[in-house]
Amino acid sequence: MPNTEMPTRSRRAFLRETGLAVSAVAIAACADEKAAAAAPAAQNSGGTMGAHDTAAATANAAAAADQMDAMHEAGIKAFPAKTAGKGNQLLAPRVEGGVKIYDLTAKVIKWEVEPGRMVEAWTYNEVVPAPQIRVREGDRVRVNLKNELPESTAIHFHGLELPNDQDGVPFITQPPIKPGQSYTYEFTVPAGNSGSHMYHSHHNAAKQVGLGLLGAFIVEPKTRGRYDNVDVDYVMILNDGSHGYTFNGKSFPATEPVVAKLGQTVRIRYMNEGMMIHPMHLHGMHQTVIAKDGWALDNPWKCDTLNIAPGERWDVIVKCNNPGTWAFHCHILPHAESAHGMFGMVTALIVQK
Ligand SMILES: [Cu+2]
């Protein structure tokens, strides 16, 4: 009994204080200056969202809804919007004496993230993400980098277990590559190191990777497994630097839809080159997770939302058995939608009948 008395008293005290507060507001409403003084308190929602002025909203609800919906509709209708430049395209190597040679030039360009929005981008070969490098276990690979940036740089091959001097970290494994200099990396892709990997700058990286010095480095296994002959093999690189929230260097509505035919199997290779987590949510069909950081999972598991943390790669399989255009987006909602409509990390999986 004693322990119920205190809460009862507290509740009474709370109701009494609330009653006083309500009367105070009512009195203040009669006098203009007093009402103005009370306004800041009314705007404080105490949550992560600002308070909504429901009275004003109701009066103009229909007009406001029409205006907001028109912006949302325009965004969806513009998708997929055309922009200049397309990154993440396969780079064919030059082959000399059995070595696969990739020539990269690091360079500052202007990049169109979404229609009409041009940003400064730091790129390999003038695209964001950089050209996709795709090799096999056991391949001998040479990467020539020419630095035309105004800063020193270096390339780290993220996920590859290379000899120490090829790891690409200035002052740990190599000197920085100064502006105007060139540098060559050469290594044999280790056996057993297949999967979805990345290459990116490892010098002033928050800026350099944020501005676009990043790409996919995919190692195909020597012996192909059950997931290596899918109908669609799609790399989706996430980023959240100064270009905004992007998939493969573009923001919605300029993001690229993933397209498959009914019954086909899609493999999505998520790679997070950003500095935030992005839970990737697919509508309509589940994702079967088959690999983490290139390592095949012994027991694949199912989900509809998969969190991709910075530096991580996750490979999933989607069996496209549900026709239609399905929203496919980061589920941290401020990365995907605002009052003006969808933006940033939004695309679609289109399953054609
Ligand atoms: Cu996100």
Cα 280 to middle of ligand 1, angstroms: 8
Measured distance CA(330)–CA(237) in Å, rounded = 12
Cα 73 to middle of ligand 1, angstroms: 22
Cα 11 to middle of ligand 1, angstroms: 42
Cα 250 to middle of ligand 1, angstroms: 14
pLDDT tens digits, one per residue of 91-136 = 999 999 999 999 999 999 999 999 999 999 999 999 999 999 999 9
Measured distance CA(287)–CA(316) in Å, rounded = 6
Cα 333 to middle of ligand 1, angstroms: 7
Count Cα neighbours of 44 within 13 Å in the Cβ-side half-sphere. Answer: 5
Residue 295: which pLDDT band, with cuts at 50, 70 and 90?
Answer: very high
Residue 225: which pLDDT band, with cuts at 50, 70 and 90?
Answer: confident
Cα 337 to middle of ligand 1, angstroms: 11
> Can you give the residue ranges of every domain in the chain?
94-352
Residue 166 has pLDDT above 60, yes or no: yes
DSSP letters along 86-121, please?
---PBPPPEEETTEEEEEEEEEEEEEEEETTEEEEE
Cα 107 to middle of ligand 1, angstroms: 27
Task: Give the DSSP letter of residue 84.
Answer: S
Instruction: Please give the model's pTM, rounded to 2 decimal places.
Output: 0.83
pLDDT of residue 14: 37
Cα 67 to middle of ligand 1, angstroms: 26
Cα 255 to middle of ligand 1, angstroms: 14
* Residue 54 φ then ψ, to 5°: -65, -35
pLDDT of residue 226: 85
Q: Average of pLDDT values for 210-223?
A: 97
**Who contacts 261 (Cβ-Cβ below 8 Å, separation ≥6)?**
231, 320, 351, 352
Structure tokens at 33: 């200056």
Measured distance CA(125)–CA(280) in Å, rounded = 28
Cα 214 to middle of ligand 1, angstroms: 18
- In percent, how much of the chain has pLDDT > 90? 81
Residue 60: which pLDDT band, with cuts at 50, 70 and 90?
Answer: confident
**Who contacts 95 (Cβ-Cβ below 8 Å, separation ≥6)?**
101
pLDDT tens digits, one per residue of 229-253 = 999 999 999 999 999 999 999 999 9
Closest-CA residue to 185 (of 125, 104, 130, 95): 104
Residue 51: which pLDDT band, with cuts at 50, 70 and 90?
Answer: low
Cα 335 to middle of ligand 1, angstroms: 5
Amino acid at 22: V
pLDDT of residue 336: 95
Mean pLDDT of the chain: 88
- Cα 226 from chain centre: 27
What sections of the chain are H helices per DSSP? 2-30, 32-43, 54-59, 61-78, 205-210
Q: Identify the weakest region by mean pLDDT among 41-55, 241-255, 313-327.
A: 41-55
pLDDT tens digits, one per residue of 335-347 = 999 999 999 999 9
Structure tokens at 248: 């493969």
Amino acid at 4: T
Cα 175 to middle of ligand 1, angstroms: 34
Class of domain 94-352: mainly beta
Q: Average of pLDDT values for 187-195?
A: 97
